[in-house]
């Protein structure tokens, strides 16, 4: 059976800000995810699945519910719900390693907290004195992408859990005095239609970046979208091959940026630019400043530079601050720095 071919990320027409925000979070997951706000049918899920296809293959322990890399094997495995894993660890046997593509784990709207974080078998722990953990969606998303459609319709507590894990790269579950943790490093992508209700400001602030998307307004661009989709559905393999070189270019850019990012530096003077920008637009707290710095450094790496420049700061502001600016009731989220300043002035600053 042939593997299903995904619509190429490179072939998505327009939506450049959304695509860049996704790439930045892949390069630097510590940005803590992106919230994509916009109407239906604007290639949000298509972009996420297409981007995953461009990422390097991963070494994964065969059958591991936590998607662990070979060098992550250890304490987590001791409490794994799979007897086979625990037996192999007790015999100090090497784990079988396979390669697979980066996973995209989709969170259903009605997901419960237990489904997301996993569950501890308390009866087994009390009887045998050993923790046994049944993995949830956060374990499945480790080293991958967690895609949450209609995040604004999820229970606030579940959203809090997702954001905590995205920020700390660890999922911790506690039940009746028993605690268990496992790695949960993933790129969080949340989408929402503002017409169906907004997230509370406290939750908005926890998303690293925010972009607003809308459908194309020009007939020529809409026709281009129609034609590309029709060609893809007619012959997915031929269409993917048509975009192969551009897809490879994007993949290589991401790989280089991941390698370059740790060495990117920023002059202290530019830190004052970040702080002043956040003060001017009326951002509460300091998370906006920190995310701006992370985003600016990631942008520099994406552009192949080892030092942050002023334009990186300005571009980072448009990604990191729109959802953090104090707004009047019913006022929409801004999409650029000038709108941010206008929003701040309208809020009474």
What is the mean predicted confidence (pLDDT) over 281-296? 93
State residue 110's pLDDT score.
81
User: Has residue 112 got a pLDDT over 80?
Assistant: yes
Residue with tokens 């997901």: 111
User: Which of 191-200, 237-246, 257-266 bottoms out in mean pLDDT, i.e. has the lowest?
Assistant: 191-200
Residues 254-280 pLDDT 10s: 999 999 999 999 999 999 999 999 998
In angstroms, the CA 81 to CA 223 distance is 51
Question: Is 213:170 a contact under the CB 8 Å cutoff?
Answer: no
State residue 286's pLDDT score.
92
Joined together, the tokens standing for residue 201 give 């400001």
Q: Where residue 330 falls among pLDDT bands split at 50, 70, 90?
A: very low
State residue 182's pLDDT score.
86
Q: In what order do the strands lie in the sheet with 104-106?
A: 104-106, 145-148, 187-192, 34-38, 209-213
**Domain regions of the chain by residue span:** 29-213, 261-346
Give me the helices (H) in 28-174, please: 44-54, 75-78, 83-90, 113-117, 122-128, 137-140, 156-168
In angstroms, the CA 23 to CA 259 distance is 14
**Between 304 and 77, whose confidence is greater?**
304
Rounded to 5 degrees, φ, ψ at 61 are -65, 125
User: Has residue 88 got a pLDDT over 80?
Assistant: no
Fold of 29-213: Rossmann fold (3.40.50)
Q: Where residue 26 falls among pLDDT bands split at 50, 70, 90?
A: very high
Q: Identify the CA nearest to 284 among candidates 229, 202, 189.
A: 202
Residue with tokens 């919230």: 35
Joined together, the tokens standing for residue 296 give 């600016």
Joined together, the tokens standing for residue 293 give 């710095």
User: Has residue 54 got a pLDDT over 70?
Assistant: yes
What is the mean predicted confidence (pLDDT) over 134-161? 89
User: Which residue out of 73, 132, 228, 287 is catalytically annotated?
Assistant: 287
DSSP letter string, 153-190:
GS-HHHHHHHHHHHHHSEEEEEETTEEEEEE---EEEE
What is the mean predicted confidence (pLDDT) over 5-13? 93
Question: Is 307:265 a contact under the CB 8 Å cutoff?
Answer: yes
What is the mean predicted confidence (pLDDT) over 87-94? 75
Strands 145-148 and 209-213: unpaired
Q: Where residue 137 falls among pLDDT bands split at 50, 70, 90?
A: very high
Average pLDDT, the chain: 86
CATH of domain 261-346: 1.10.8.80
Count the alpha carbons within 13 Å of 332 in the hemisphere toward its beta carbon: 12
Contacts of 215 (CB under 8 A, 6+ apart): 39, 41, 42, 222
State residue 173's pLDDT score.
83
91 given a catalytic annotation: no
User: Which of 118-127, 237-246, 318-327 bottoms out in mean pLDDT, i.e. has the lowest?
Assistant: 118-127
User: Which of 28-42, 80-94, 309-323, 329-343 bottoms out in mean pLDDT, i.e. has the lowest?
Assistant: 329-343
What is the mean predicted confidence (pLDDT) over 322-327? 80
Q: Identify the CA nearest to 199 among candidates 162, 155, 167.
A: 155
The CA distances from residue 143 to 32, 146, 300, in Å, are 14, 10, 23
User: Which of 82-91, 181-190, 248-257 bottoms out in mean pLDDT, i.e. has the lowest?
Assistant: 82-91
pTM score, whole prediction: 0.86
Indicate the helix (H) or strand (E) that contains 209: strand 209-213
User: Has residue 349 got a pLDDT over 50?
Assistant: no
User: Has residue 329 got a pLDDT over 50?
Assistant: no
User: Has residue 234 got a pLDDT over 90?
Assistant: yes
């Amino acid at each position: 059976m042939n593997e299903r071919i995904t619509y190429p990320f490179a072939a998505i027409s327009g939506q450049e800000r959304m695509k860049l925000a996704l790439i930045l979070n892949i390069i630097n997951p510590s940005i803590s995810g992106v919230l994509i706000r916009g109407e239906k049918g604007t290639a949000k899920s298509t972009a996420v699945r297409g981007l995953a296809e461009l990422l390097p293959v991963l070494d994964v322990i065969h059958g591991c519910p936590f998607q662990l890399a070979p060098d992550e094997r250890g304490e987590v495995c001791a409490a794994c719900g799979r007897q086979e894993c625990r037996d192999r660890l007790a015999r100090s046997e090497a784990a079988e390693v396979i390669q697979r593509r980066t996973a995209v784990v989709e969170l259903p709207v009605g997901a419960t907290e237990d489904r997301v974080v996993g569950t501890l078998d308390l009866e087994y722990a009390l009887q045998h004195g050993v923790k046994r953990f049944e993995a949830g969606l956060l374990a499945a998303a480790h080293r991958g992408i967690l895609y949450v459609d209609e995040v604004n319709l999820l229970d606030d507590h579940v959203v809090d859990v997702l954001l905590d894990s995205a920020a700390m790269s660890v999922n911790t579950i506690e039940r009746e005095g028993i605690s268990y943790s496992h790695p949960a490093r993933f790129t969080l992508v949340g989408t929402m239609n503002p017409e169906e209700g907004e997230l509370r400001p406290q939750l908005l602030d926890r998303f690293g970046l925010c972009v607003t998307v809308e459908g194309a307004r020009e007939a020529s661009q809409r026709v281009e979208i129609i034609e590309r989709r029709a060609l893809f559905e007619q012959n997915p393999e031929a269409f993917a091959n048509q975009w192969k070189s551009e897809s490879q270019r994007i993949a290589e850019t991401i790989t280089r940026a991941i390698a370059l990012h740790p060495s990117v530096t920023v002059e202290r003077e530019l830190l004052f630019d970040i702080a002043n920008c956040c003060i001017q637009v009326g951002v509460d707290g300091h998370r906006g400043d920190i995310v701006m710095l992370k985003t600016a450094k990631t942008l520099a790496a994406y552009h192949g530079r080892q030092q942050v420049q002023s334009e990186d700061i300005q571009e980072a502001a448009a990604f990191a601050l729109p959802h953090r600016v104090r707004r009047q009731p019913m006022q929409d989220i801004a999409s650029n720095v000038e709108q941010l300043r206008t929003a701040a002035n309208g809020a009474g600053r």
